[in-house]
Amino acid sequence: MIEPTVTMPPTRVRQPPVRRRGRPLRPSRPTGPFRSRRSSRPPRSPRSADGVRFPVLAVVFVCAACGLVYELELVALASYLIGDSVTQASVVLSVMVFAMGVGSLLAKRLRCRAAVGFGMVEAGLALIGGCSALALYAAFAWLGESRYLVVAFSLAIGVLIGAEIPLLMSLIQRARGAGAASGAGAGSLPASGTGSGVGAGAAKRARRQAPAAAEQDDAAGTVADLFAADYVGALVGGLAFPFLLLPWLGQLTGALVTGAVNVIAGGGLVLWVFRRDLTSRSRALLIAVNISVLAVLATATVLVDDFEEAARRAVYGEQVRVAVHTELQEVVVTGGREGPPDLFLDGRLRVAGQDEYRYHEALVHPAMNGPHERVLIVGGGDGLAAREVLRYPGVSSVTVVELDPGVVRLARTDPALATLNAQAFRDPRVRVVYADAFNWLRGTADRVQERYDVVISDLPDPGITPSTKLYSQEFHGLVARVLTPSGRFAVHAGSVTDRAHTYWTVDATLRAAGFGTRPYSASGRTPGFAAGPDRADRTGGTEQGPGDWGFLLAVPGVRPPALGLAPDAPRLRSLGPGTLAAAARRAERARGPELPPSTLVHPRYGD
């Protein structure tokens, strides 16, 4: 600190102060026109470092949790609306991390107004992140496409998240600098009027060097504290999303509530802790913006149920009979009271009531040509594959391994679905196991006393990522361990014509697991319905899906099995000996080059 002196002409020599007897020496003060008006006012008490540090770390913790919730919300909703969760997660995470770097660079321009800049960043992040799920679902429901919007939201949210830490660092350093300057000013007065000039200069240099070293240590500690709070907050947000927000609030309301928490935390920090860094105009602007964002989020929260109902009608049509969210997925049943129902799981058509018999007859009955006393169905929570199996009087037990109890519950209790599956789950021969099929087979293969004569894989297409492991070589190896030596394994493998690469990869995987395979397909679907358990193609403006269903009949060994119907087969509406022979020839004509099998560590269905 520079001591105040009066500028004198160069010819005059400044006289040392006169010390009177009995009185201590007092420093000289400027007089006349050089005297500052502020010298008569008491100095402002600076903000303590701890008084700034702890509120900032608390807000960093909250904002980090909110930011990760936005990120997971985009990944989950993109996987649900678009499919292929691996691709969607890769796109969202890579774009967001890149955008965070861009946001950190752009934050340099706001350092001169760090307080108002941080407040506006948090308000924008709360609005965009909170409304992102609504916007994505609306784009999918009414426009049929949301891929580009996912990328846009990832960019915007990433830029805003990346600007948070640099702006907070500027605010903390400014507060620490103000405190250090006030402390230095208070200690700059000499203790006595005596002392050499050399000693005084050395003391001043020491006082200037000590704050610089302390400032470097404080900056390093501040960075460590900020990143620690950021990482712990991200952990809490990552755990809160699947275990708290999704089960209790759902995707839409959960995002809106997260946005409200975000804007309250960010706005409260700036308007209270850093209020001295705001002008009256900036303070009024921040208050108005934060209130507006809260009003938008609150209004959207109140109207979210009406919005979801309208969007569901836009996706599934006007005849939505049942719409429930289980612990694992959204289940929707559509159709009129007189017509057959359609079943959608997470937006994908699982059962088309008018032509489902073609799919299930082709899946089940070729595998029943032989011993069929004990049958295992993997998937099939709708009960339709079990319906076909129970038509054989020689069946003594049917085990259905289904992951989602909500689907089975609906198939039992919904009148339309229960009529469609002929009350299959009320048959005493049927036993339902609620488990992941891979884990259940892994734990059961060595404990099962009696092997199964028939195993039926009634699963979604292997191109849908959650089911990929159930089309792996390892899973097929587990199935081989529970089959009798003369057992048959029927697999739904996707479309032969529209997804040939996926279909023949399933064939190669079965053969790598020790099975001989016989490919065949079923076609002739009812116009206007997707041809199998997969999403309808909404992007093309139609509801048409693949043109056929592809199946594989497998038996242990190398030799392919014979394709036919059992002597005690019931009367079928779509299958006959001539139909199966034509189905096999049609599939063989589409055979391509040899493909490698798909494994757990190298899934190949997305190649």
Whether the pLDDT of residue 388 is over 90: the answer is yes
The secondary element (H helix, E strand) that includes residue 549 is strand 549-556
Whether the pLDDT of residue 210 is over 90: the answer is no
Among 124-133, 184-193, 513-522, the range scoring the smallest mean pLDDT is 184-193
Whether the pLDDT of residue 45 is over 50: the answer is no
Q: Are 391 and 360 in contact (CB under 8 A)?
A: no
Rounded to whole angstroms, the Cα distance separating 454 from 539 reads: 38
Set 277, 342, 382, 458: catalytic member: 458
For residue 151, the model assigns a pLDDT of: 94
Going from the C-alpha of 101 to that of each of 56, 157, 158, 196, 230, the distances in angstroms are 21, 12, 8, 54, 16
Mean pLDDT in residue range 477-506: 92
Among 62-66, 94-98, 312-316, 400-404, the range scoring the smallest mean pLDDT is 312-316
Q: Which long-range contacts (CB under 8 A, 24 or more apart) does 410-415 make?
A: 410/322, 410/324, 410/331, 410/333, 411/381, 411/382, 411/383, 412/383, 414/321, 414/322, 414/333, 414/341
Confidence of residue 128 (pLDDT cuts 50, 70, 90): very high
Looking at residue 323, what DSSP letter applies?
E
Higher pLDDT, 410 or 5: 410
Residue 452 three-state SS: strand
For residue 250, the model assigns a pLDDT of: 87
Q: What is the pLDDT of residues 540-587, one digit of tens each?
A: 333 455 678 899 999 999 999 999 999 999 999 888 878 888 999 989
C-alpha dihedral sign at 261, 263, 266, 268: negative
Predicted model pTM: 0.77
For residue 190, the model assigns a pLDDT of: 47
Active site residue 458: yes
Residues forming a β-bridge with 553 = 490, 518
Mean pLDDT in residue range 236-258: 93
How buried is 447 (Cβ within 10 angstroms: 0-12 exposed, 13-18 middle, 19+ buried)?
exposed
Q: Are 598 and 468 in contact (CB under 8 A)?
A: yes
Among 220-224, 277-281, 345-349, the range scoring the smallest mean pLDDT is 220-224
